[in-house]
Amino acid sequence: MVSQLFTVPRVSFILTVCILFSLALNLIYNNPDEKFRRNLRKYGRRDIQNFIVRSIQVRENYGRCVFPYTLTDAQGVYQPDRKTTCKRRSCRSKSGWVLCSENKCYIRKLLTESKGKIDCVFTDIIRTSDRKVGYGIPHRNFQQYLLNSSDFVKVQCNASNGDRWAGDVIGTRPILVPKSADDKPKNDKFNVFILSLDSLTKTDFLQKLPKTYWFLKQQLGAVEFRGFNTIGNIRSQNLIGMLTGQTELELPETRKASPRSSHLDVYPMIWKTFRNDGYITAFNEDSIREGVLNSQHKDFLEQPTDHYLQTYLTEKKQYFSNSTECCFSNYQRHQILFDYTSKILSGERNKSKFILNVHDVTSSDNLFVLDHDIFNFLFDLQEKEALSRTIFILVSNTDQPLNQNNVPLEEKLNQRILFASVVLPLQFQKQFPQEYSNFQNNTNSLITSFDIHATLEHVLQLQNNQSEGLRSCRTRSISLFKQIPHYRSCAHAHIEPHLCSCLGETPININRVILMGAENIVDTVNTFLEPYWKFCRSVTLSGVIDAVKLAPQKALLQYKKLDDVIGYIPNLSGSTIVRNEWYQIQVAINASTEAQSIIEGIVRHDLWKDIFETKIKDIVLKEGGIGPHCLAKVGKPMLKKLCICKEIN
């Protein structure tokens, strides 16, 4: 009887059922949505929020912020966490038959001479949702088509010689601003244009986008902020902080995996404030996959801004189901983003605009090509004078790697420092001189996305003659047009310890390392003076005044990975490879001469090679010191503080 029950076929069937059942349980248990729900049940949103607040308020997180100089000057190596979504291919093909200028779309004049009479049918692409589009009524036209319902149109043309063409064109339909703002003088406010480059750290930006960086600094006069620190483990947390001034946990639940969650429409996005103040608004991402916001959050029910590139990309997804194509309508996706932005910013000059663009650099086929295209894009905007009344903000954004156990300290620090630069119109600088002075003095301060949000609010308040109000150091959101205290810490800025890139200060006795570091400071100064040897003498070390060791927080060194799929609970059981140590050393030079100086430098000590590198932080002429008479006409303040003139007969 037993042998009949356990025959080979039956045993095989039972084993198969058991294996399938265990696989099903494993899939259910490891499903991201189910993991999210388990994390919520285990911690709860309020518990996670309280955990973050407690971790931020630890004593170590209140230390004054000092940045390791290598994050500013070193050239990083671009290693994206994800594979590029674009195949290497050319996007070039024949030019389209139809062009759009603002809301007017017309047939190219030269074509009618070579092809004869051309008959075109225009069909608007209408947004239904973030994942679905509809189409308007087809319109047949021989001359031009006016955009009223959409910025995006499908076109099919037939020429009398038998040639045919089909494609898409993009323009900008006219936008009616709120009536309450229509009564205000036209074009009396500055445009605001934000370009966010995703999957890019600061050192990545410096190495892979050198032409863009040069144009920002040399041609546009951009002010770079050295201490732009991430506030989140994933990109959406930084973007949400900039758009709302709040953390994701402080806002209504919008995660797809969370039961009874709301859509992103409930967020108090900053573009709503600009819209109410009479601005035309635009939010454009060029990702054919999930965007930064809707990858984990529910889509927008209503179109969030006046101009919205997602509608066009949604229509294109049906043709590129594998989501790996670079090219739409003969252009790379980032080029479509730039062209669309140029049309928005250059059109309707009598109305102010707020534009937020997000480009994921992993979708670019070649970052050097992207660098060239951004350079041309900014050059084109400058030539059109579209930036003359525009506050232009360029920032980078990135996720923290999935696993940071046993990685070099520099790599961890690099992942937490992002690029940030701001271009202010000359008229803004003249109109608000005190705010501009504060702005320039904040370039070495610790800032976050919360501060950019406060700055955007302050722009509106300044233009509306409203007081921004005083904000203390303990306020996590401080406008860049207000003076940010030099002693601001990661705790003040609401940065968790494992995300804080600041180095804390620990007093240290003078030892061999400090003396060698002091000598390296002097060597660095003499190397700087070398081109001016005909006029300036070499400096000599008189002594070490003070020295402190700079070290990151323990939480950063111990950070391994995230313990939850929500993106907030850090696992601090890891370790870090420490190859370099930093010291801040004050030295006295030229004590026996009239040009006595105190130099403060940040010295990096490579523990593996036992070599030193220095960045001069500050130079102070002691009382009684004088500047060099031989370089009176040289406009280099640092050189004038260091040079001791030779006696020339």
Among 401, 465, 500, 410, residue whose Cα is nearest residue 55: 500
At 37 the pLDDT is 46
State the Cα–Cα distance between residues 54 and 69, nearest whole angstrom: 30
Instruction: Please check whether residue 202 lies inside any domain of the structure.
Output: yes
Q: Which two tokens stand for residue 501?
A: 């890139």
Together in a domain, 478 and 510: no
Q: Hey, what are 20's tokens? A: 């399938």
CA proximity to 84, closest of 344, 395, 366, 296: 366
H-run or E-run covering 640 = helix 637-642
Same-domain check for residues 266 and 414? yes
**What confidence tens digit (pLDDT) does each residue in 261-307 have?**
999 999 999 999 999 999 999 999 987 667 888 888 999 999 999 99
Q: If you average pLDDT over residues 591-620, what whole number do you get?
A: 82
Provide the token pair at 361.
């650099």
Please tell me whether residues 487 and 513 are part of one structural domain.
Answer: no
Is 83 domain-assigned?
A: no
**Domain end position, chosen among 457, 478, 499:** 499
Only one residue has tokens 């391994």, namely 560
pTM of the model: 0.87
Closest to 555 (Cα-Cα) out of 482, 474, 497: 497
Is the domain of 479 the same as that of 575? no
Q: Do 275 and 211 belong to one domain?
A: yes
Distance CA 549, CA 498 (A): 19
- Predicted pLDDT of residue 78: 35
Q: What is the domain range of residue 442?
A: 70-74+175-499
| Residues 494 and 510 grouped into a single domain | no
Tell me how many domains the chain contains.
2
Is residue 185 situated within a structural domain? yes
Mean pLDDT value across residues 22-45 = 55
Q: Does residue 240 share a domain with residue 222?
A: yes
Please answer whether residues 122 and 139 qualify as being in contact, where contact means their C-beta atoms are separated by less than 8 angstroms: yes
- Which residue has better confidence, 626 or 643? 643
pLDDT band at 637 (very low <50, low <70, confident <90, very high): low
Nearest to residue 284, comparing CAs of 358, 348, 215?
358
Q: Specify if 561 maps to a domain.
A: yes
- Say whether both 451 and 555 belong to one domain: no
What is the DSSP pairing of strand 580-589 with strand 541-551?
antiparallel
- For the cut 50, the answer to whether the pLDDT of residue 623 exceeds it is no
Query: For the domain that residue 554 is a member of, what is the CATH number?
Result: 3.10.450.10
Poorest-pLDDT segment among 206-215, 573-582, 589-598: 589-598
Does a structural domain hold residue 481?
Answer: yes
The residue type of 312 is Y
Question: What digits encode the pLDDT tens for the residues 458-509?
Answer: 999 999 887 765 555 567 899 999 999 988 999 999 999 999 999 999 999 9
Q: Please give the pLDDT value at position 159.
A: 92
pLDDT over 50 at 323, yes or no? no
* For residue 130, pLDDT beyond 60: yes
Quick one: 220 and 292 in the same domain?
yes
Same domain, residue pair 522 and 460? no
- Residues with Cβ < 8 Å from 383, sequence gap 6 or more? none
Buried/exposed code over 186-202 (b: 16+ C-beta within 10 A; e: otherwise): eeebbbbbbbbbbbbbb
CATH number, domain with residue 368: 3.40.720.10
Residue 205 · residue 367 · CB < 8 Å: no
- Does residue 242 lie in a domain region? yes
Let me know if residue 124 belongs to a domain.
no
Domain end point (choices 499, 519, 535): 499
- Report the mean per-residue pLDDT for the chain: 84
Structure tokens belonging to residue 50: 């309280």
Both 374 and 480 in one domain: the answer is: yes
Residue 134 has pLDDT above 50, yes or no: yes
Write down which residue in 439, 464, 499 finishes a domain.
499
CA dist., res. 280 & res. 515, Å (int): 59
Residues in the chain: 649
- Any domain includes 98: no
Residues 491, 619 within the same domain: no
Which of 33-42, 66-75, 394-403 is predicted least confidently?
A: 33-42
